[in-house]
Amino acid sequence: MKRPILLVPLPAWILAIAMFGFGGLPLAVACTWLLPIAVTVAEKDRHSICEIPTEMYLFPKVPTWIDPHSTLFSIVNYGTLILALGSASIGVILSVKVWCYLVVKRFHWMTEEQVQTYLKRIADRG
C-alpha cells in the first residue's frame, strides 16, 4: 500500500501547490505575445502593437489586419499556442527546481531523499 501524498510538512505541501500550479502561467502569458508582436512590427510599425486585440485582457488574438485564410494567420494562431504550452512546461520545470531548493536548502523542511521520494510518488500517480 502506498503512503498518501500529504506525508510532507504542511508548509512544503502548500508551497508545492502554489508553485506547481502557477509556475508556468507568467511565462505562458508572456510568450503568447511574442508572435503577434513580431508579426505586427515586421509587417507594419511598432505603433501598431496597440491595435492587437486581446482576450480576457491577458492573451492576444491574431491581429485583425491579417487575412483569416492566409498562411500567416495559421502560423500566428497555432504558433502562439505552441509557444504558450512550451513556455508553460518550462515554467513548471523551473518552479519544481526552485521548490526543491527552497524546501531543502533554504527552509530545511525536508531532506533531498524525501524530496526525491515525494516527486517520484507524484510522477507515479500521474
- Measure the CA–CA gap between 53 and 19, rounded to whole angstroms: 30
- Measure the CA–CA gap between 49 and 8, rounded to whole angstroms: 47
Per-residue pLDDT, 1: 45
Supply the pTM of this predicted model. 0.80
Q: Is pLDDT above 90 for 113?
A: yes
Q: In this predicted model, what pLDDT tens digit does every residue of 37-56 receive, in sequence order?
A: 999 999 998 899 988 999 87
Q: In this predicted model, what pLDDT tens digit does every residue of 63-94 receive, in sequence order?
A: 999 999 999 999 999 999 999 999 999 999 99
- Lookup: cell for 44: 507594419
